[in-house]
């Protein structure tokens, strides 16, 4: 009986540590996914972005405009959104089961609609695990005032 009690105590202490370790692994996975997504935007790779993006995705840009998935992919494919470089920093991930919120800072060089959109932005992206894959379902960015 005493051994069973000891085993239960060890498990009770170990499970939260395992969950914390597992959550850190998911956070690392999502940070890597965000980097891959950024590179796909720079390359104009709409096929990769389509695979990484949920069908109900929406994007709120720095001017407050809302774009749905197909609008965003079309704009990237056509060059209406053209990003030359995008350096990510301050990435932070909070995981809530099959949903994760990723925040960060990006320093962008590029154009949107033929206008310079270069600058520093704070952003928030929501990922949801769908069919065993993490997919972006929402993205919002705000330009940092100089």
**pLDDT of res. 32:** 97
Residues 28-64: tens digit of each pLDDT: 999 999 999 999 999 999 999 999 999 999 999 988 9
pLDDT at 3: 61
Which residue's entry shows tokens 């992919």?
Answer: 73
Please report the pLDDT score of residue 146 as a whole number.
79
Token pair, residue 136, equals: 């972006």
CA distance 126 to 110: 23
Q: What is the pLDDT of residues 82-113, one digit of tens each?
A: 999 999 999 999 999 999 999 999 999 999 99
Judge: domain 2-143, CATH 1.20.1090.10: no
Element (H, E) at 73: helix 69-78
Backbone phi, psi, residue 64, to 5°? 85, 5
């Amino acid at each position: 009986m005493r051994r069973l009690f000891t085993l239960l105590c060890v498990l009770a202490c170990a499970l939260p540590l395992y969950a914390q370790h597992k959550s850190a692994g998911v956070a690392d996975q999502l940070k890597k996914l965000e980097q891959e997504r950024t590179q796909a935007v720079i390359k104009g790779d709409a096929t990769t972005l389509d695979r990484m993006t949920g069908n109900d995705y929406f994007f709120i840009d720095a001017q407050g405009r809302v774009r749905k998935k197909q609008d965003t992919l079309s704009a990237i494919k056509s060059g209406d959104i053209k990003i030359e470089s995008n350096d990510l920093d301050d990435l932070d991930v909070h995981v809530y089961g099959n949903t994760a919120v990723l925040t960060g800072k990006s320093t962008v060089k590029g154009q949107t609609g033929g206008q310079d959109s270069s600058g520093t932005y704070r952003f928030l992206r929501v990922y949801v695990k769908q069919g065993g894959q993490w997919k972006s379902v929402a993205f919002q960015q705000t330009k940092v005032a100089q």
